[in-house]
Amino acid sequence: MKLSTKGRYGLRAVLELAVHESDEAVALSLIAERQRISMNYLEQLIPKLRKAGIVKGIRGAQGGYLLAMPADQISIGDILRALEGDLNPVNCADVSNGDGSCSNSDTCVTKYVWKRISDSINDAVDGIMLSELVEESKRVQAEAEIPTNSDSKKQSCGK
């Protein structure tokens, strides 16, 4: 399964809101700048996230966007489904709660493969909460920080 830019960029935008969560709304232009995502593209993604109840908008001079609920209540699956639709790897009637479009569904044995793959994908993304990504982001940022003066001295002592 390959996610489109909608899923990838939308997840980054929601993560940006979660990492910088405060009482103040975050402007879409700031998200676009920090994540290097086109403002026009973000404007297409945000309504889907609002409709799914993941983000909420605040109007006015200090307006912008906030998470609609705590990050520990939002799964990555919630975000991806809001942007991508279902996450099934194939359009198999038995995998996607079918519409009866498959003429071989009565005798097809590969549907068991697609069902297991679909279940695995959904279990994985539903098992990761946005709050986990926030913590990972903070850890990665802390590790990437510029060394302190004492660290620089340690490095130069070896010369």
- Whether the CB-CB separation of 134 and 71 falls below 8 Å is answered with yes
What is the value of pTM for the model shown? Answer: 0.81
Domain 5-144 matching CATH 1.10.10.10: the answer reads yes
Q: How far apart are CA 41 and CA 100, in angstroms?
A: 35
- Give mean pLDDT, residues 94-115: 69
Greater model confidence, 21 or 15: 15
Say what the pLDDT of residue 95 is. Answer: 55
- Domain spans, the chain: 5-144
Burial of 109 (0-12, 13-18, 19+ CB in 10 A): exposed
User: Residue 23 carries which DSSP code?
Assistant: S
